[in-house]
A and B are shown apart, each in its own frame.
Chain A
Amino acid sequence: MSTTTLEPSIETHVHYLNVSYGIKSWLLTTDHKRIGLLYLASITLMFFVGGSAAVLMRLHLIEPQGGLVEPETYNKLFTMHGIIMVFFFLIPSIPATLGNFLVPMMLGARDLAFPRLNLMSWYLYMIGAIFTLSAIAAGGVDTGWTLYPPYSSAYSHTHVIMAALGIFIAGFSSILTGFNFIVTIHKMRAPGLTWFRLPLFIWAHYATSVIQILGTPVVAVTIALLALERLFHIGLFDPNVGGDPILFQHLFWFYSHPAVYIMILPGMGVMSELITCFSRKRVFGYSFIAFSSVAIAVLSFLVWGHHMFVTGQSVYAGLVFSALSFMVAIPSAIKVFNWMATLYKGSISYDAPMLYALGFVGLFTMGGVTGLFLSSLAVDVHVHDTYFVIAHFHYIMVGGAVMAYLGGIHFWWPKITGRMYPDGWARFAALVIFVGFNLTFFPQYMLGYLGMPRRYAVYPAEFQVLNVMSSAGASILGIGYLIPLIYLTWSMRYGKVAGPNPWKAKGLEWTTPSPPPTENFEETPVVTEEAYNYSAVGEEA
């Protein structure tokens, strides 16, 4: 990236990309924008690694007997897919790239509060990723991303400890990001930027950070205990000496349920930015959206037991967790309806980011309402650990979070690089992804209801038709993801010069040149109006 020669028109001002050159200037940078890009590159790599595993899985599942690999290998594939996608792609995706880039800019600050910790966070991420990737290279891990003992602690013969170490380290990188955001949002807002003038992107990241700092330590210590158990046969989760394997599940989901909101809340933040900008309207129900983010963050810690309805958890605890799971759905519903209402009487354009945004709203809804099936006790008994669950979370994580991520990348791409991407291609890719996605994952709902268990390398023949459909969809989806990779890379060099505010968007980040200078703003901005004041758009133009 540092060697990219930039066209004169961008060269005219000094910005964070051309202020210094060379590998060292990147690897030792403390500029939040450059760190965001370091993350962007590494996360994209991890996405394609995880995605390749998914492609192999889908190819394998075309035939009931499993056409491609041995069951042992298949097990390693979904484990590596799950671990990489969750811990190394989706959790850091929006916060560590777009969040890193934008949080200080949206606040009118020069950088995050602790720039060196921010860089350290990226290094921790990389070390974690290297551990996990070497676990894979050394032969893989086959425990599932949930790492349930006693299988993971006593029976699996694979490289559990190395992978666990990777997750442990990556956990601290996530904590550091959240930590930095919270302090920055509290202490470094520009003059006049009161809480209720903040962009909703910031509220979403604030809620996310709360989860990161309070949840992640628990999974870190849990995974450390698991590793100790495996190494030294302590017996903590081993029923033979009175240990309780279900305790692990409690500790694991105490983090991992809130973690799913780490994955979706930032996406919701992106949504609020995109929908307002491309319908040129102030967001409908600002404070409801803002507070629903906080409500989700708090409630998310009270529902983890819904992953354990049939594991031997007390039925009474199940009852409480079920009720609370329904409650956590309400704030999400509020958000969806408020976005819809924002579109009403807007001035809606179909730029690529908006296409992703509209896709998000619909697909997230579908994933969300099927989450309600799962929080219904009796229904979960049947669909737990079937493809219904797989479909549920891919609808939210791929249909929701990844769509939001792509939407956000396209939206802020001109700000990040100073150049536009080819618009036609972008819209085309959005469409391909939408179609491929539905074809991949809708059949999985049906498979799940019919009773096909997840993590099956071999399955009864009656499930084949739906599996073939799903595999076909996955290849469309995979191609859909390749297109942006190509044209975005291309546009870094050949794209049209974008100018400071190609979308006529509101928000402090659009008031500074693209790409922004290292210090973000020539002088600290003073904020005098509320967010999304789109009625003023015409005047500037």
Chain B
Amino acid sequence: MAGHVVPQKVYFVIFALLIGLTGLTTWVATLDMPSPWNTVVALAIAIFKASLVILFFMHVKYSSNLTRAAVVAGFFWLAILLVFTLSDILTRQWIPQSTGWTTTIESPH
């Protein structure tokens, strides 16, 4: 009934990791990396931290597949929202712009 009882030690280890990773993100932010990499690293660390919380603090590692499906669905749908919205924003500039307008100050012909 009480579900899976996780040993307290696990919680402390995860806690230490989380605090360490918070320090890491902050430190990494002081580095001057080429353009997207700062963001990529920061997000990667955040995702890793979130996974730790979900798996251990929230017991998903010890839970049923149904629970896992709910977790995955939440993030998968978030990804749909972001990816498809960005698919518009990022490709808007691709529109072949007409550069062929040749009318000069005097009227055509």
Contact = CB atoms under 8 A, between A and B. Distances in A.
Do A and B contact each other directly (Cβ–Cβ < 8 Å)?
yes
Interface of A: 186, 210, 214, 218, 246-247, 250-251, 254, 301-302, 304-305, 308, 312-317, 320-321
Interface in B58-101: 66, 73-74, 77, 80-81, 84-85, 87-92, 94-95
A304 B84 contact: yes
A301 B77 contact: yes
B80 A317 contact: no
B70 to A, nearest CB: 9
A321 B83 CA distance: 12
A146 B5 CA distance: 50
Contact of B88 (A186, A218, A301, A317): A317
- From B77, B88, B91, residue with most partner A Cβ within 10 Å: B88
A137 B89 CA distance: 40
B81 A317 contact: no
- From A250, A302, A308, residue with most partner B Cβ within 10 Å: A250
B64 to A, nearest CB: 10
A321 B80 CA distance: 13
Chain A, interface SS category: helix
A304 B85 CA distance: 10
A186 B84 CA distance: 30
Contacts, number: 47
Contacts of B89: 314
A363 to B, nearest CB: 31
- From B66, B81, B94, residue with most partner A Cβ within 10 Å: B81
Given A186-B66, A214-B77, A302 B84 contact: yes
B91 A250 contact: no
A454 to B, nearest CB: 24
A107 B87 CA distance: 42
Given A186-B66, A214-B73, A314 B91 contact: yes
Given A186-B66, A302-B84, A304-B84, A317 B91 contact: yes
A314 B81 contact: no
Contact of B80 (A251, A302, A314): A302
A305 B88 contact: yes
A387 B56 CA distance: 55
B88 A254 contact: no
Given A314-B92, A316-B94, A250 B77 contact: no
Interface of B: 66, 73-74, 77, 80-81, 84-85, 87-92, 94-95
Given A218-B81, A254-B81, A301-B80, A317 B73 contact: no
Given A246-B88, A316-B87, A317-B84, 16 more contacts: A214-B74, A214-B77, A247-B85, A254-B85, A301-B80, A313-B88, A314-B87, A314-B89, A314-B90, A315-B95, A316-B91, A316-B94, A317-B87, A317-B88, A317-B91, A320-B84
B18 to A, nearest CB: 27
Contacts of A218: 81
Nearest to A217: B77
Contact of B84 (A214, A247, A305, A312): A305
B84 to A, nearest CB: 7
A259 to B, nearest CB: 14
Question: 3 closest Cβ contacts across the A-B interface?
Answer: A317-B88, A314-B91, A314-B92
Contacts of A308: 88
B76 to A, nearest CB: 9
B99 to A, nearest CB: 17
Contacts of B81: 218, 254
A313 B91 CA distance: 9
A317 B87 CA distance: 6
A302 B87 CA distance: 12
A254 B83 CA distance: 12
Contacts of B85: 247, 250-251, 254
B27 to A, nearest CB: 33
A250 B73 contact: no
A218 B89 CA distance: 19
